[in-house]
Chains A and B, each alone.
Chain A
């Protein structure tokens, strides 16, 4: 059983569409991070959210931490082909535990 469940596992959309991916757990985390991983590379940190209810924006990406610090969402507005990749959430407790990721494909 994974500590963090990400959904959907796979998402294929057209350029210009909006999307939301989710990261859920029954556990409380000190913080939650989102990483993006491209083929043949390691994950790269996008954002860290710390406070319950916190919302952070990174250009077209909006990250939200749930009020109870158990879940998070990533919303992308007007997706572009360059957004294609594997999006991983990681929850901080004694160490960083990762979800299995959402593989996003944005078609031109």
Chain B
């Protein structure tokens, strides 16, 4: 069983479309994240949820809307896709949010990524 699973693995779409990426974790973790990895491999945090509550919301366009129906799922919906949205999006989970886990105790488990290509 995959610990953190994302779907789809690949997504190719036209500018202006709306798309969603789904993420599920079976680790029993309370905290889930979305990270964006650009073409230069820089991994940047977008959102973090703890037990369905949003706790980190970086400077991300309003076109990106995360939704956490329960603590095992965190989905990412993107409206009006733009060329610059092309990237690999990684979902991750951890037992607790970083500040609460204790110094050095937080371990992120990542999914395999969803490669989004906007044409």
Contact = CB atoms under 8 A, between A and B. Distances in A.
Interface of A: 2, 30-31, 33, 37, 40-45, 48-50, 86, 88, 90, 92-101, 103
Contact of A98 (B42, B103, B113): B42
Of B92, B103, B112, most buried by chain A (CB within 10 Å of CB) is B103
Nearest to A50: B104
Given A88-B43, A100-B41, A44 B98 contact: no
B9 to A, nearest CB: 8
A60 B72 CA distance: 36
A33 B106 CA distance: 10
Given A31-B104, A50-B103, A98-B42, A42 B90 contact: yes
Interface of B: 4, 35, 40-45, 48, 56, 90, 92, 97-99, 103-104, 106-108, 110-113
B111 A42 contact: yes
A100 B111 CA distance: 18
A43 B43 contact: yes
Contacts, number: 66
Contact of A41 (B41, B45, B107, B113): B113
B110 A43 contact: yes
A42 B89 CA distance: 10
A92 B92 contact: no
A95 B103 contact: no
Given A2-B42, A95-B56, A100-B41, A44 B110 contact: yes
A54 to B, nearest CB: 10
Given A98-B44, A101-B41, 15 more contacts: A31-B103, A37-B41, A40-B113, A42-B112, A42-B113, A49-B104, A90-B108, A94-B56, A94-B98, A95-B97, A96-B98, A96-B106, A97-B45, A100-B40, A101-B43
A94 B45 CA distance: 12
Nearest to B56: A95
Nearest to A43: B110
A99 B103 CA distance: 19
Contacts of B113: 40-42
